[in-house]
Amino acid sequence: MRLIKREKYMLKLLPFVGKPIIKVLMGQRRVGKSYILQQLRQHIEENDHSANIIYINKELEQFAKIRNNIDLSIYVNEHLKKSTNNYLFIDEVQEIVDFQHSIRDLFARDLCDIYLTGSNSSILSGELATLLSGRYVAIEIHCLNFHEFLKFHQLDWNLEALMKYMKYGGLPFLHHIGLEGHAPFEYLKNVYSTIILNDVIQRAGIRNVPLLQSLTTFLADNVGSLFSATNIHKYLKSQRINLSVPVIINYLHALCNAFIVHKVPRSDVKGLKIFEIGEKYYFEDIGLRNIVAGENSFNDLHKLLENLVFIHLKQSGFEIFVGKMDDKEIDFVAIKKSNKMYVQIALTLLEASTREREFGNLMSIEDNFPKYVVTLNDPIPRENWKGIERMNILEFLKEIQ
């Protein structure tokens, strides 16, 4: 199978090849971590012809016998070669119980250059963080951004292609299936079921699966809405779904750990004080969001547009907050190093009331960092009004990196 390179991730990984540090690729299942690992393997084989690569993929039956750290140590030690460079690749490492003990031992003895992938962020917390503290670098892998989506599907940069992206999302394997008929939705349904079963239900020990599904559907229906676990509890209770606040918090945590959704905290614009109550949730992949909410939900364009902007900012390396300033809300406060920007989302600004709200909120911010109002496809030309840049989404995706 031909591998389409995702250069931005290779550029992040290549400086660490051969260096005494464990490389961990994290991200939602099916976003392409395995393929990036294969691309890295190809690079190593092309540049180190004597390389001995030990490859373990826990999604393949041939590696089913590697259940825990002891099995892992035995397997790796049996496949190490002397007088050459050894490389260890483990795909979906979280499926190996107590793997961190074996990895620490291999690393301490300098036996191989280690690369891991994982579909649950919890593997980088707790005991692993203690055992391997300062010994690993974590690189988060995301679904395809719009630029990559066009490359994978050989589409042109236009609104029609963008609407396909907002409908089907950015899972890389879709380019083998195509974007026509029911096939892509059937694939997305299967991916979602796999993630929920393997990375949420089993890993978090969730017993009440129907309630988990109700919560996930609620998040999909309310993308971009500000709420708390208490608000969710009250809503579900009104629907005769009894899910306590502590359970809701645990379920939300499990969904975030599996990278299905990302939590965006609320902060004060003036001092970036983080508020403990009130946050938004956005999906890692828009296509999966549409599957959860129902196939016709992609008609809710404002929610999809807001989720799209979030994905773009997240993949561009920004730390993202929901801005609060008195009684006003800023959709996104995005920070990268010493740079900051403010972003408001609106489908269209044709109505005066919408223009007044979106521009007015940004006008209340007194600093000189860039401010944007992003629309889907307004017929009115791009403009700069009192320092606030109004642009359509295609312009925003192309210019903001």
Last residue of some domain: 101, 124, 140?
140
Helix, strand, coil % in the chain, rounded to nearest 5: 45, 20, 30
- The span from the CA of 73 to the CA of 100, in Å, is 11
Shared-domain flag, residues 296 and 391 = yes
Nearest of 143, 87, 84 to residue 115 by alpha carbon: 87
Mode of pairing for the β-strands spanning 136-140 and 22-26: parallel
pLDDT of 69: 96
Residue 284 has a pLDDT of 98
- Judgement on whether residues 114 and 235 belong to the same structural domain of the protein: no
Q: Both tokens of residue 259? A: 């990278």
End residue of a domain, out of 81, 110, 140: 140
Do 159 and 232 belong to one domain? yes
Give CA torsion, residues 225, 144, 188, 343, to 10 deg.
10
pLDDT at 200 (0 to 100): 94
Picking from 373, 218, 393, the residue whose alpha carbon sits closest to that of residue 301 is: 393
* Dist CA 224 CA 344 (whole Å): 12
Are 135 and 170 in a shared domain? no
Q: How many residues does the chain have?
A: 401
How many CB atoms within 10 Å of residue 202? 11
Residue 326, pLDDT score = 81
Q: What is the pLDDT of residue 182?
A: 92
Q: What angle do CA 35, 78, 42 make, to 5 degrees?
A: 25
CATH number at residue 34: 3.40.50.300
* One domain for residues 180 and 134: no
From residue 53, how far is each of 56, 78, 83, 85, 293 by CA, in Å?
10, 13, 14, 8, 42
Predicted TM-score (pTM) of this structure: 0.94
The reported pLDDT for the residue numbered 397 is 96
Residues 211 and 248: beta-carbon distance below 8 Å: no
Q: What pairing do the DSSP bridges indicate for beta strands 383-385 and 371-375?
A: unpaired
The answer to the question of residue 2 being in a domain is no
Q: What is the pLDDT of residues 4-42, one digit of tens each?
A: 889 999 999 999 999 999 999 999 999 999 999 999 999
Q: Domain check: are 127 and 252 in the same one?
A: no
Q: What is the pLDDT of residue 371?
A: 96
Q: Which of 106, 122, 140 is the C-terminal boundary of a domain? A: 140
What phi, psi does 183 have (nearest 5°)?
-55, -45
- The answer to whether residues 233 and 248 touch, using CB atoms and an 8 Å cutoff, is yes
Same domain, 254 and 118: no
Number of domains in the chain: 2
Based on the domain organization, do 127 and 195 belong to the same domain? no
Q: Is residue 162 part of a domain?
A: yes
Look-up of token digits 């879709």 = 174
Q: Could you list the mean pLDDT of each consecutive 10-residue stretch along the chain, which spans 401 residues?
A: 83 96 95 95 94 96 97 97 96 92 93 94 72 86 97 96 96 96 95 94 90 92 89 86 88 95 90 73 97 81 96 96 88 93 90 80 90 86 86 94 84
Whether 168 and 217 share a structural domain: yes
Could you give the 3-state DSSP secondary structure of residue 235? helix
Which long-range contacts does 262-265 make (Cβ < 8 Å, 24+ apart)?
262/310, 262/314, 264/310, 264/320, 264/321, 264/322, 264/332, 265/321, 265/322
Residue 111 has a pLDDT of: 94
Task: Classify residue 1: in a domain, yes or no.
Answer: no
Do 236 and 211 belong to one domain? yes
- Looking at the fold, whether 130 and 50 belong to one and the same domain comes out as yes
pLDDT tens per residue across span 262-310: 999 998 887 667 766 679 999 999 999 999 998 667 678 999 999 999 9
Q: Which residues constitute the domain of residue 273?
A: 146-399
Is 276 among the domain residues? yes
Regarding whether 232 and 98 lie in a shared domain, the answer is: no
pLDDT of residue 80: 97
In a domain, 122, yes or no: yes
Are the C-beta atoms of 62 and 91 separated by less than 8 Å?
Answer: no
Residue 264 lies in a domain: yes
